[in-house]
Amino acid sequence: MFLNILTFGLWGKLGRLTHYAFDAVLISAFLAGMKRSTGLTPSIKRDSITDNKDVNYWIDRYLGVGETVMDYSVTLAGSSGFFERKR
* pLDDT tens profile 7-35: 666 767 888 889 999 999 999 999 999 98
Q: Note whether residue 19 is domain-resident.
A: no
pLDDT at 57 over 90: no
Nearest CA-CA partner of 63 in 40, 81, 86, 87: 40
d(CA 46, CA 55) in angstroms, rounded, equals: 10
Q: Which structural domain range is residue 62 located in? A: 24-87
Q: Note whether residue 12 is domain-resident.
A: no
Going by pLDDT thresholds of 50, 70 and 90, the confidence category of residue 45 is low
Q: Note whether residue 16 is domain-resident.
A: no
Q: Note whether residue 7 is domain-resident.
A: no
- The per-residue pLDDT for 50 is 67
Q: Note whether residue 15 is domain-resident.
A: no
In percent, the amount of the chain with pLDDT more than 90 equals 43
- The per-residue pLDDT for 7 is 63
What's the domain count of the chain? 1
Q: Note whether residue 40 is domain-resident.
A: yes
